[in-house]
């Protein structure tokens, strides 16, 4: 299992474009310790490899499908409201590929 230390958390938060305070990092590290300890306990259960991972807590399926009817979209102003930079109605970003 991957070791989660301060560097890993700082790297992850920076990739997600936010900064964590020192005490937040400490809290998160404590939480990860508990999580990882619980995962270690799971390893002790025998025969786990014989089971499919359970995505949904109940064996349930539906037959619901949405009718193909369009609804009113957002106005362009609303779409662009959170954009840092806009050009000709599009969201402008620094170039990320060569």
Partner 1 sequence: MNFEAVIGLEIHVEMKTRSKMFSSSPNSFSRAVNTEVTPFDLAFPGTMPRLNKEAVRMAIRVANALHMTIDHELHFDRKNYFYPDLPKGFQITQQRRPIGSDGYLEIRKGNEKKRIGIERIHMEEDTCKQTHFVDYTLLDYNRAGVPLVEIVSRPEMHDGYEAMKYVEAIRNIVVYSGTSDGKMEEGSLRVDVNISLRPYGQKEFGTKVEIKNLNSIKNIQDAIDFEIERQSKALLSGEKIRQETRRYDESKGATVLMRVKTDAVDYKYFPEPNLVPIRLSDAFVQDAIDTCPELYDSKFERYLQMGLTEKDAEIILSDPAMASYFEAAAPSGADMKEVANFLIVEVNSYLNKTGKGIKEIKMPATELGKLTLILKKEKLTHKQGADILFKCLEDGIGVEEAKKALHIEAMVDDEGAILAFVTEALDKNPQSIADYKAGKDRAISFLVGQVMKLSKGKAKPSAVMAKLKEEIAKR
Residues that bind partner 1 (CB under 8 A): 15, 53, 55-56, 60-71, 73-74, 76, 79-80, 87-98
- The least CB distance from residue 2 to partner 1, in Å, is 12
Nearer to partner 1, 18 or 64 (CB): 64
Nearer to partner 1, 44 or 68 (CB): 68
Phi, psi of 87 (to 5 degrees): -145, 130
How far apart CA 16 and CA 27 sit, in angstroms, is 18
Q: Quickly count: other Cβ atoms within 10 Å of residue 90's Cβ.
A: 12
């Amino acid at each position: 299992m991957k070791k989660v230390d301060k560097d890993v958390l700082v790297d992850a938060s920076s990739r997600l474009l936010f900064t964590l305070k020192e005490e937040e990092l400490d809290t998160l590290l404590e939480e990860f310790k508990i999580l990882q300890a619980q995962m270690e306990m799971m390893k002790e259960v025998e025969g786990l490899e014989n089971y499919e991972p359970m995505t949904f807590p109940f064996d349930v399926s539906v037959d619901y499908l949405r009718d193909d009817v369009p609804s009113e979209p957002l106005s362009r102003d609303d779409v662009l409201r959170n954009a840092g930079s806009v050009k000709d109605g599009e969201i402008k970003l620094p170039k990320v590929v060569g």
